[in-house]
């Protein structure tokens, strides 16, 4: 599971393939900015609810969540825990900001949105876990368990816990004996280093989330140990779907 990441530089998080790609959440962020101007919403006022925006633009609430994070990174919105998102500055008709003295708004790097990435991981890693349950060797289990133990050992250290978390998932992919699957999982984890991911993680990552993830990972390991592909698939899917739900909950 990926739940946190140090804030990387924008340049480091953009791959050559991503340059020039218009991500849906960035397009939606621009549309929301224009809507605020059209409706005459002023600086200091609260943004319409995610449900209202989702209905207006005919998109999912998670798509709106990603767009709000992008607008927060641009400095247009401020997300206040337990209250919602408030307008800090507005784009003008030319795209510049309305707040006095504000420079050009920062646009986060165009990597995949957090929910887009998590859903891809849910599909792919669930099947990988099922394959791993049948192909893994005892030596693979030793390496997977080592990562699981490190996660528990570093429950109170977010960075070290994350490193062990990553290693746990990569070891499972490696145990399939398929180098392409390992490359796919590695690539997905590498993409979870964008400013958008870091910001949403900042809002929703908690120690309780790490504890729940530890329990999820234990269930995945138990299924691998029993060579039960159905249980391994279900445990991995349940784990990543729960992370999606955590990131989609109301603003704290």
Neighbours of 131 (CB within 10 A): 19
Residue labelled with tokens 């925006």? 53
- Cβ-Cβ contacts under 8 Å for 106 (sequence gap 6 or more): 73, 74, 75
Per-residue pLDDT of 147-166, as tens digits, reads 999 999 999 999 999 999 99
114-135 vs 195-204: helix crossing angle, rounded to 10: 80
Q: Which residue has the higher pLDDT, 90 or 155?
A: 155
Structural domains of the chain, ranges and CATH numbers in brackets: 19-87 (1.10.10.10), 114-248 (1.20.120.530)
Q: Is the pTM of this model over 0.75?
A: yes
Q: Which residue has the higher pLDDT, 5 or 157?
A: 157
* CA-angle at 110, arms to 109 and 111, nearest 5°: 100
Question: Minimal CA–CA distance to 205: which of 151, 171, 158?
Answer: 158
CA distances to 51, 101, 115, 149 from 61, rounded to whole Å, are: 6, 33, 11, 36
Helices (H), 41-178: 50-57, 61-73, 114-135, 138-153, 158-174
Q: 155 in helix, strand or coil?
A: coil
Q: Report residue 192 as tokens.
A: 């979870």
Per-residue pLDDT of 9-62, as tens digits, reads 333 334 434 444 568 888 999 999 999 989 899 999 999 999 999 999 999 999
What pLDDT was estimated at residue 204?
85
* CA distance linking residue 193 with residue 151, whole number of Å: 19
Judged against a pLDDT cut of 50, whether residue 237 lies above it is answered with yes
Of 122-126, 163-167, 205-209, least confident by mean pLDDT is: 205-209
Question: Minimal CA–CA distance to 70: which of 43, 31, 37, 98?
Answer: 31
What pLDDT was estimated at residue 252?
53
Mean pLDDT, rounded, of the chain: 85
Q: 23 in helix, strand or coil?
A: coil
């Amino acid at each position: 599971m990926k739940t946190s990441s140090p804030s990387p530089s924008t340049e480091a998080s953009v791959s050559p393939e991503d340059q020039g790609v218009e991500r849906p959440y960035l397009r939606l962020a621009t549309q929301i900015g224009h809507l605020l101007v059209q409706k005459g919403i002023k600086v200091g006022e609260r943004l319409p609810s995610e449900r209202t925006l989702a209905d207006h633009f005919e998109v999912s609430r998670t798509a709106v969540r990603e767009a709000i994070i992008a607008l927060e990174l641009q400095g247009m919105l401020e997300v206040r825990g337990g209250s919602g998102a408030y307008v800090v500055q507005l784009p003008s008709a030319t795209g510049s900001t309305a707040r006095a003295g504000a420079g050009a708004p920062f646009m986060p790097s165009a990597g995949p949105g957090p929910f887009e990435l998590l859903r891809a991981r849910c599909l792919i890693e669930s099947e990988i876990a099922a394959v791993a349950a049948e192909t893994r060797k005892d030596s693979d289990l030793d390496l997977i368990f080592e990562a699981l133990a490190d996660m528990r050992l570093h429950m109170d250290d977010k960075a070290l816990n994350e490193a062990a978390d990553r290693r746990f998932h990569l070891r499972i992919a490696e145990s399939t004996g398929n180098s392409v699957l390992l490359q796919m999982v590695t690539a997905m984890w590498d993409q979870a280093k964008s400013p958008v991911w870091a910001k949403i993680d900042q809002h929703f990552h908690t120690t309780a989330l790490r504890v729940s993830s530890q329990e999820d990972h234990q269930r995945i390991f138990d299924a691998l140990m029993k060579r039960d592909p159905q249980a391994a698939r279900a445990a991995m899917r349940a784990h990543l779907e729960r992370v999606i739900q955590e990131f989609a909950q109301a603003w704290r």
